[in-house]
Amino acid sequence: MATLNNFGDSLSIQPSDTPGINIINEQLTGVENYGVWSRAMLIALRAKNKLAFIDGTCQRPAAGSLTLNQWERCNALVLSWIMNTVSKEIFGGIVYSTDASTVWKDLKEQFDKVNGSRIFAIHREIGGLRQGNLSISTYYCKLKQLWDEYASFVTLPSCTCDTARKYIDHDHQQKLLQFLLGLNDSYVHIRSQILMMDPLPTVGQAFSVVSQEESTRSLLAIEPPPSVFYSSRNKVDERKDVITCEYCHLPGHSKGNCYKLVGYPPGHRLYKPQQFRGPKKLSKDNFKPRRTSHDVNMATEVQAETFNPEVINNTLAISNTPIFTPAQYAEILKLLGGSTGHSPTEPMANMAGPQPWEDHGDW
């Protein structure tokens, strides 16, 4: 007689055994995923100790048996677990069933169709699978899933004879070559190193080596190379040696040859040549001549002797050219009480020479 405390009996029920749970994540949709679904269900039912309810080992007790009620409870649990893992279309065909083993056999007859087209499709997916933008781990998991699905269709030898061992070794070698073939070209060097090993490693060992290479590259991509720090230090040292102007605070020149003080040379985009406009009279209202220190001293001396607006206007009517006219020079000498010994209209040769304001930059 089975009891609830006998954990090794198929009729025992654990507190976690409830009809509303999904014991696997895969949902049966048809022929395309029946192999994966059935394998996952077998593993889960074995863990729940309910595998006997679908393989026919635990039969329905006779009427009046003391274990009939317990068997019906366990059978209902297995039925609910199967219904929770199928699509709505398949669910409608099994909802009225009362025996879990019968439902399992019906699903196997309907969807367990191992044919050449499915095996061909798996081979095509394995041959066309490439790493691309996938990580090494994701690429390997997808490839391994296809291998496992193919192994569920093809029965491999389980004996320990030499022929079976050679067949298994050949199968492992094919998986290794398929894994290396799908890697990106950036792993060509590590792939060559793996193929040069004697004996060849298993596909799991090759995955471990390539995965370590991927981790190393990720670390190198995050940490900047030492040359970056070296070049940065050189740039800082070079900046320390650059001359900086004390007037405009720009590097590359000193205050003595700053264009903003001495003027821009011809050919520079900011160069403005002086244009001769001739002398012009200035009125008292707009008396704003451009004067040098020499002009200011001269005007001060004139004003100290006498204040005559006409004389001052005629004396300091200076345009952009630094040359006095003969009339202006004669008026200035009269005010100062001097004489040149020449007529007012006679040009003065020495006045055409260099003037005090020349060679003083922009004025």
Across residues 193-200, what is the average pLDDT?
Answer: 92
CB 183: neighbour CB atoms within 10 A? Answer: 19
Instruction: Name the nearest CA neighbour of 213 among 198, 192, 227, 199.
Output: 192
Q: Which residue has the tokens 């008292």?
A: 284
How far apart are alpha carbons 97 and 274 in whole angstroms? 110
**In this predicted structure, what is the pLDDT of residue 311?**
47
- Tell me the per-residue pLDDT of 326-344, one tens digit each, with 9 for 90 and over: 777 778 877 776 544 444 4
pLDDT(300) > 70: no
pLDDT over threshold 70, residue 294: no
Per-residue pLDDT tens digits for 169-182: 898 999 999 999 99
Whole-angstrom Cα distance, residue 13 to residue 67? 13
Inter-axis angle of helices 162-181 and 136-153, nearest 10: 140
CB 349 within 8 A of CB 323: no
CB 318 within 8 A of CB 295: yes
CA distance 34 to 320: 101
> Rounded to whole angstroms, how far apart are CA atoms 45 and 82?
10
Asked if the model's pLDDT at residue 207 lies above 60, the reply is yes
Residues 11 and 4: their CA atoms lie apart, in Å, by 8
Q: Read off the pLDDT of residues 86-113 as tens digits, 9 standing for 90 and up.
A: 999 999 888 888 899 999 999 998 888 7
Nearest to 81 by CA among 91, 89, 71: 91
What was the pLDDT predicted at 243? Answer: 78
pLDDT band at 241 (very low <50, low <70, confident <90, very high): low
Residue 344 · residue 326 · CB < 8 Å: yes
Find all residues with CB under 8 Å of 200, minimum gap 6, and list them. 173, 176, 194
